[in-house]
Structure 1
Amino acid sequence: MKRYLIIGAARSGLACADYLLRKKDTEVILADSDPGKEAATVEYFANRPIQLIWGRPDIDALKPDILVLSPGVPPQIGPVQEALAAGIPVISEPELAYREGRARWFGITGTNGKTTTTALAAHLLEGFGAPVFCGGNIGTPLISAVPDLPEEAVVVAELSSFQLELIDRFRPNAAAYLNLTPDHLDRHGNLEAYAEAKARIFENQGPEDLLIANYDDPTVRVLAERAGGQVWYFSLKAQPPLGMWEKEGKLMVRLQPQDAPHCLLDRSDIALPGAHNTENIMAAVLGALYFGASESHICRQLRTFHSVAHRLEPVRDLAGVRYVNDSKGTNPDATEKALQAYNEPIVIILGGRNKGNSFDPLVPLIQEKCRHVVLVGEAKADIRQALDRFAYPDYSQAASFEEAVSLAQQAAQPGDVVLLSPACASWDMFPNYEVRGDLFKKLVNELDG
Structure 2
Amino acid sequence: MKKIKRYENKKVLVLGLALSGVNAAKLLHSLGALVTVNDYKKFDENPQAQELLESGIRVVTGGHPVELLDEDFEWVVKNPGIMYNNPIIIRAKEKNIPVITEVELAYEVAESMVIGITGTNGKTTTTTMIAELLNAERSRGQAYVAGNIGTPASLVAQKATSDDEIIMELSSFQLMGITELKPHIAVITNIYSAHLDYHGTREEYVAAKMNITKNQTEEDYLIVNWDQPELRELSKKSKAIIIPFSRKEILNDGVYLQDDVIYYQGEPVMAKENILIPGDHNVENAMAAIAVAKLLNQKNGIIRASLEKFTGVKHRTQFVTEFKERRFYNDSKATNILATESALKGFDAPVILLAGGLDRGNNFDELIPSMSGKVKALIVFGETAMKLNEIGEKAEIPTIISVQNVEAAVSAAYALSEPNDVILLSPACASWDQYRSFEVRGDAFIHSVEQLVEEAIEEGE
* Band the TM-score falls in, shorter-chain normalisation: 0.7 to 0.9
1:110 partner letter: G
Pairing of 1:260-279 with structure 2 (within 5 A): 261-279=266-284
Distance (Å, rounded) in 2 between the aligned partners of 1:205 and 1:186: 29
Alignment of 1:346-361 (within 5 A): 346-350=352-356, 361=366
Matches within 5 A, 1:33-112: 33-35=40-42, 38-45=45-52, 47-62=54-69, 63=71, 64-112=73-121
Per-residue CA deviations over 1:22-77 (Å, capped at 9, x if unaligned) read: 222x1222222233883422453362111222232334335332111122222222
Q: Give the alignment of 1:82-161 within 5 angstroms.
A: 82-126=91-135, 127=138, 130-161=141-172
8 Å contact from structure 2 (residues 364, 388) kept in 1: no
Which residue of structure 2 lines up, in the alignment, with residue 8 of structure 1? Answer: 16
Q: Residue deviations 1:287-336, cap 9 Å, x none?
A: 12223334344344334433221222234668986542113335544433
Partner residue, 1:198: 209
Output the CA distance in 1 between the equivalents of 2:385 and 2:220: 46
Write the distance in 1 (CA, Å) between the matches of 2:441 and 2:19: 18
TM-score, scaled to structure 2: 0.82
2:417 is matched with: 414
Q: What SS is found at the alignment partner of 2:372?
A: helix
Whole-angstrom distance in 2 between the partners of 1:202 and 1:382: 47
Q: 1:215 to 1:2 in 2, by over 3 A?
A: same
**Which residues of 2 match residues 175-324 of structure 1 at below 5 A?**
175-254=186-265, 261-315=266-320, 322-324=327-329
Work out whether residues 14 and 21 of structure 2, in 8 Å CA contact, stay in contact via their aligned partners in 1: yes
Aligned partner of 1:348: which letter?
Answer: L
8 Å CA contact 2:276, 2:311 repeated in 1: yes
Q: 2:181 aligns with which of 170, 193, 213?
A: 170
Assess if the C-alpha contact under 8 Å between 2:368 and 2:394 holds in 1.
no
1 CA distance for matches of 2:449 and 2:44? 31
Amino acid aligned to 1:275: D
Aligned partner of 1:16: which letter? Answer: A
Contact 2:157 2:166 in 1 (8 A): yes
Deviation at 1:79, TM superposition (A): 1.6
Could you list the runs of 5+ residues in structure 2 that have no partner in the other structure? 1-8, 457-461
Judged with a 3 Å threshold, the aligned counterparts in structure 2 of structure 1 residues 423 and 12 are, in CA distance, closer, same or farther, namely farther
Q: 1:180 to 1:346 in 2, by over 3 A?
A: farther
Match of 1:338 among 338, 343, 358: 343
| 1:352 Cα offset (Å) | 5.3
Name the SS for the 1:225 alignment partner: helix
Cα distance in 1 between the residues matched to 2:23 and 2:125: 24
The answer to which of 312-321 and 219-228 deviates more is: 312-321
The 8 Å contact of residues 349 and 408 in structure 1, kept in 2 or not, is answered as no
C-alpha distance in 2 between matches for 1:367 and 1:291 = 44
Check the 8 A contact 2:341/2:370 in 1, yes or no.
yes
- What is residue 257 of structure 1 aligned with on the other side? none
Give a deviation string over 1:236-272, Cα, whole Å, max 9, x none.
1111352111111211121xxxxxx221222334433
- Tell whether the 8 Å contact from 2:118 to 2:170 is kept in structure 1 after alignment: yes
Q: Secondary structure at the match of 1:175?
A: strand
Range with greater deviation from structure 2 (288-297 or 94-103): 288-297
CA displacement at 1:424 relative to structure 2: 5.6
Separation in structure 2 between the aligned mates of residue 153 and residue 234 of structure 1, nearest angstrom: 25
1:403 equivalent to 2:405? Answer yes
TM-score scaled by length of structure 1? 0.84
Distance 1:43 1:374 in 2: 44
Q: 1:90-128, CA deviations, whole angstroms, 9 ceiling, x for partnerless residues?
A: 111111111222321111111221112111111211217
SS in 1 for 2:417: coil
Hey, what's the Cα distance between the residues in 2 that align with 1:292 and 1:81?
46
Change in 2 beyond 3 A, CA 1:357/1:158 = farther
C-alpha change, 1:107 and 1:372, in structure 2 (3 Å) is same
Percent identity over the alignment? 34
Please give the secondary structure, in 2, of the residue aligned with 1:198: helix
SS at match of 2:237: coil
The residue type paired with residue 155 of structure 2 is S
Distance 2:160 2:203 in 1: 36
425, 441, 446: which is aligned to 2:446?
441
Any conservation in 1 of the 2:80–2:173 contact (CA below 8 Å)? yes
Are 1:56 and 1:79, in contact at CA under 8 Å, matched by a contact in 2?
Answer: no
Q: Give the residue type in structure 1 aligned to 2:315.
A: H
Partner of 2:6: none
Moved more, 199-208 or 48-57: 48-57
> Offset of 1:133 from its aligned partner?
1.7
- Of 289-298 and 420-429, more deviation after overlay is shown by 420-429
Does 2:372 match 1:372? no
- The change in CA–CA distance for 1:34 and 1:60 in structure 2 (over 3 A counts) is closer
Query: Residue 258 of structure 1 corresponds to which residue in structure 2?
Result: none
C-alpha separation in 2, matches of 1:207 and 1:289: 18
Partner SS for 1:45 = helix
Aligned-partner Cα distance in 2 for 1:331–1:174: 31
